[in-house]
Amino acid sequence: MQLTNRNKQVERKPMTFAEKMYLPSIFKGMGITFSHMFKKKPTINYPEQQRPFSAVFRGLHILNRDEEGRERCTACGLCALACPAEAITMEAAERQVGEEHLYREEKYAAKYEINMLRCIFCGLCEEACPKDAIYLSQTFAQANYDRKGFIYKKEDLLIPNPVTDPEGFAKAKGTIPQSK
């Protein structure tokens, strides 16, 4: 008993001798294979060559410093709230007397972590930050063998200090240092 009238009877005609040998299909496949042998390779030799990225590419996160080398992050938590993947966690602390050269504001991020396994590189943390403390660089995330290597701590994310390492700071910002 049929439930619907959608089925159709298929008529199978017998295959010819050439079709039984599969020769036309084999020659067609070999022609496609040989045509690809003479085309330009779509792959690149990664360590030696690097693919150019778009200007709007969003890579690894960077915690920014000001020109005096102080951390810009005030641990307001807006980046963690804006993150749809909940990849950012932070703990705030009060600046102590004598630490004015380390932090710009009275509050700073004592602990700042980004779980790169959860991050979707949307850039909402960068847009939410009122102090321009976090931005997504042109560097892409490195491969790792364990999960702990993908949790980036504050020390991993901080840009080099411009006072002690001006070349590293300029390289991280994407600018060329001025020669004296």
Token pair for 91: 């703990």
Token pair for 146: 């364990």
- 11 labelled ligand-binding: no
- 162 labelled ligand-binding: no
- 119 labelled ligand-binding: yes
pLDDT at residue 3 tops 80: no
- 73 labelled ligand-binding: yes
63 CB contacts (<8 Å, ≥6 apart)?
71, 72, 73, 109, 112, 133, 134, 154, 157, 158, 159
- 86 labelled ligand-binding: no
The pLDDT value given to residue 41: 82
Domains annotated for the chain, with CATH where assigned, are 60-173 (3.30.70.3270)
**Residue 110 DSSP SS3:** strand
For residue range 29-72, list pLDDT tens digits in order.
Answer: 999 999 988 888 888 888 788 888 888 888 889 999 988 889 99
- 15 labelled ligand-binding: no
- 63 labelled ligand-binding: no
- 176 labelled ligand-binding: no
DSSP string, 54-112: PTT---SEEE-B-TTS-B------HHHHH-TT--EEEEEEEPPTT-TTTBSSSEEEEEE
pLDDT at residue 176 tops 60: no
pTM (2 d.p.) = 0.68
The pLDDT value given to residue 21: 82
Give the chain's mean pLDDT: 87
**Residue 80 DSSP SS3:** helix
